[in-house]
Amino acid sequence: MKITKNQLKQIIKEEFDATMKEGRFPFPDGTTRDYDWKVDAEIEDKLVNAVLDLQEMHGDAYVAKMLREMANDIEKEMAAKDKPAL
């Protein structure tokens, strides 16, 4: 099943919003800074376009697997940062 650009944008927005609500924002290192939402939107558009290009070139299953692997890697890195050093 192909997803549209707008659907992908909505998924990314929902995940970002969920991340903020879970308290993992602003930044993992605890710093805060003013955030330029326009830049974020531009990056989001580029990400969506890249994912759609990959979907067109390699198919839905490839892109779904790639995104799952990326999400798993990010979650592993986050978990590793949360563990106290031995």
Per-residue pLDDT of the chain (86 residues; tens, 9 = 90+): 677 888 888 888 777 776 666 554 556 566 555 556 667 778 888 888 898 899 999 998 999 999 999 899 988 888 888 776 55
Long-range contacts of 22-27 (CB under 8 A, 24+ apart): 24/78
> pLDDT at position 69, please?
92
Query: What is this structure's pTM?
Result: 0.52
> pLDDT at position 85, please?
57
Cβ partners under 8 Å of residue 27, min gap 6: 33
> pLDDT at position 26, please?
55
> pLDDT at position 77, please?
87
